[in-house]
Amino acid sequence: MNLSQEQWWDGSQNDTEAVILDVRTAEEWNDGIIPGAIHIDIYKGQAFIDELESLDKAKNYYVYCRSGVRSGNACNIMGQLGFANAYNLSGGIMGWTGPVVQPEGE
């Protein structure tokens, strides 16, 4: 499900079951992240699937990438894997006006 920035951020901050998921590359991740994000690079192929499978499927995932395309794909994959809720940030971090921080070492 695609959400506007406001819906996505409000949801991620007010949902006790929320997990923010960044599916960009390591280089993009190092340019700055939305606070609290975890990182799983969608370009890792099977490793991406394997890492998703290790997550709690009952939680609510707020997913983003650079423009919203990869995170939209990630949400679809998550749905196929049985995740209850995966929310895509429309426009990705390129259109993000909320907080961005430098990631601590992965």
Instruction: Please check whether residue 16 lies inside any domain of the structure.
Output: yes
- Residue 66's nearest CA partner among 87, 40, 96 is 96
Residue 105: the pLDDT is 63
Instruction: Please check whether residue 102 lies inside any domain of the structure.
Output: no
Domain of 16, CATH number, reads 3.40.250.10
Instruction: Please check whether residue 106 lies inside any domain of the structure.
Output: no
**75 annotated active-site:** no
Instruction: Please check whether residue 85 lies inside any domain of the structure.
Output: yes
Going by the DSSP 8-state scheme, the letter that residue 102 receives in this structure is P
Instruction: Please check whether residue 103 lies inside any domain of the structure.
Output: no
Domain that holds residue 67: 2-95
- Of 20, 34, 63, 65, the catalytic one is 65
Instruction: Please check whether residue 23 lies inside any domain of the structure.
Output: yes
Quote the pTM value.
0.96
- Within 1-106, strands assigned E span 2-3, 18-22, 38-39, 60-64, 85-89
Instruction: Please check whether residue 105 lies inside any domain of the structure.
Output: no
Q: How many domains does the chain have?
A: 1
Instruction: Please check whether residue 101 lies inside any domain of the structure.
Output: no
Residue 92: the pLDDT is 98
- Residue 63's nearest CA partner among 81, 39, 27 is 39
Cα dihedral value 49, 51, 55, 58, nearest 10: -10
Query: Distance between CA atoms of 90 and 2, rounded to whole angstroms?
Result: 6
- Count other C-beta atoms under 10 Å from residue 6's C-beta: 10
- Within 4-102, strands assigned E span 18-22, 38-39, 60-64, 85-89
Residue 54: the pLDDT is 98
Per run of 10 residues, the mean pLDDT along the chain (length 106 residues) is 96 97 97 97 98 98 98 98 97 96 80
